[in-house]
Copies of this chain bind each other. A is one copy, B any other.
Amino acid sequence: MKAAGPHAQCYASLVPSPLTFALTATDPATQARAGVLTTPHGEVQTPVFMPVGTQGSVKAVHPELLHGLGAQIVLGNAYHLYLRPGHKLIQQLGGLARWTTWDGPMLTDSGGFQVFSLAHIRKINDEGVRFRSHLDGSEHMLTPELTMEIEQCLGADIAMVLDQPSAYPATRAATEEALGRTHRWAERCRQAHSRPDQALFPIVQGGFEADLRQQSAQTLVDLDFAGYAIGGLSVGEPKDVMWEMLQATTPHLPVEKPRYLMGVGSPEDLLAGIALGVDMFDCSFPTRIARNGALLTDTGRINIRNARFKTAETPVLDGCDCDTCTRFTAAYLHHLFMAHELLAYQLASVHNLRFMVRLAQDARRAVIDGWFAAFRAGFDAAFRPADAAVQAAQKTKWLEARQRKGVH
Contacts and interface: CB of A to CB of B under 8 A. Distances in A.
Interface of A: 55-57, 59-63, 65, 84-85, 89, 92-94, 99-101, 310-311, 313, 327-329, 331-332, 334-336, 338-339, 341-343, 345-347
27 contacts: A55-B335, A56-B335, A56-B339, A57-B339, A57-B341, A59-B342, A62-B65, A62-B343, A62-B347, A63-B327, A85-B310, A85-B334, A89-B310, A89-B311, A92-B311, A93-B311, A93-B313, A93-B329, A93-B331, A93-B332, A94-B313, A99-B331, A99-B332, A100-B332, A101-B332, A342-B342, A346-B346
A59 B59 CA distance: 16
Contacts of A335: 55-56, 84-85
A101 B59 contact: no
A94 B311 CA distance: 11
Which one of A63, A84, A342 has the greatest number of beta carbons of chain B within 10 Å?
Answer: A342
* Majority secondary structure of chain A interface residues (helix, strand, loop or mixed): loop
Contacts of A343: 57, 59-62
Given A62-B62, A99-B332, A342-B342, 8 more contacts: A55-B341, A56-B336, A57-B339, A59-B341, A84-B335, A85-B334, A89-B331, A346-B346
Contacts of A84: 335, 338-339
A40 B8 CA distance: 65
B57 A336 contact: yes
A153 to B, nearest CB: 14
A48 B338 CA distance: 31
B346 A342 contact: yes
Contacts of A62: 62, 65, 343, 346-347
A332 B97 CA distance: 12
B329 A99 contact: yes
Contacts of A63: 327
A99 to B, nearest CB: 6
Contacts of A345: 342
Contacts of A59: 341-343
Given A311-B93, A346-B346, A85 B328 contact: no
A186 B27 CA distance: 72
Which one of A89, A329, A339 has the greatest number of beta carbons of chain B within 10 Å?
Answer: A339
